[in-house]
Structure 1
Amino acid sequence: MSRSSSTLHGNILTSEGWLLGELKMVDGRIAAIEGHLVDPADNDLPRFLPGFIDLHVHGGGGADTMEGGDAVATLAATHVRFGTTSLLATTMTAAQPEIRQVLDDIARYMDAPEPQAARVIGVHLEGPYINPGKLGAQPAQAQVATIAELDELLALAPILLVTLAPELSGHHDVIRYLSEKAVRVQLGHTLGSYEEGVEAMAHGACGFAHLFNAMTGLHHRKPGMVGAALAHAEYAELIPDLLHVHPGAIRTALRCIPRLYAVTDSTAAAGMPDGDYKLGAQTVTKCLGGVRLADGTLAGSTLTMDQALRNFVSLGLTLEEASHRLSLYPADFLGRHDIGRLSVGAQADVAEFDAELNLLSVHVGGSLVSGESYVSHA
Structure 2
Amino acid sequence: MIVAAVVFWLCFAVVTYIYFGYPSLLWLISRFKTRPVREGDVTPKATFIIAAFNEQEVIGAKIENALSLDYPAEQVEVLVVSNGCTDRTNDIVREFSARDPRVRLIALERPGKMEAVNEGARNATGEILVFSDADFFLDPHTLRLMARKFADPEVGGVSGARKPGITRKGDATGDGEGLYVRWDKLQKILESRIGSVYAADGLLYAIRKELFVPLTDPSRGDDMTISTHIPLQGYRLVFEPKATAWENGTIHAKQEFRRKVRIANRCTRAMLGHGRRLFTSGFYSLEVLSHKVVRHMIPYFLIPMFFASAVLATRSNFYRVLFAGQLAVYLLALAGAALREKKAGYWRIFSVPYYFCFVNAAAFVGLLQLMRGQGTRAWTARTGESLVR
Q: TM-score over 0.5 for the alignment?
A: no
Structure holding more strand per residue: 1
Structure holding more helix per residue: 2
> What is the TM-score normalised by the length of structure 2?
0.23
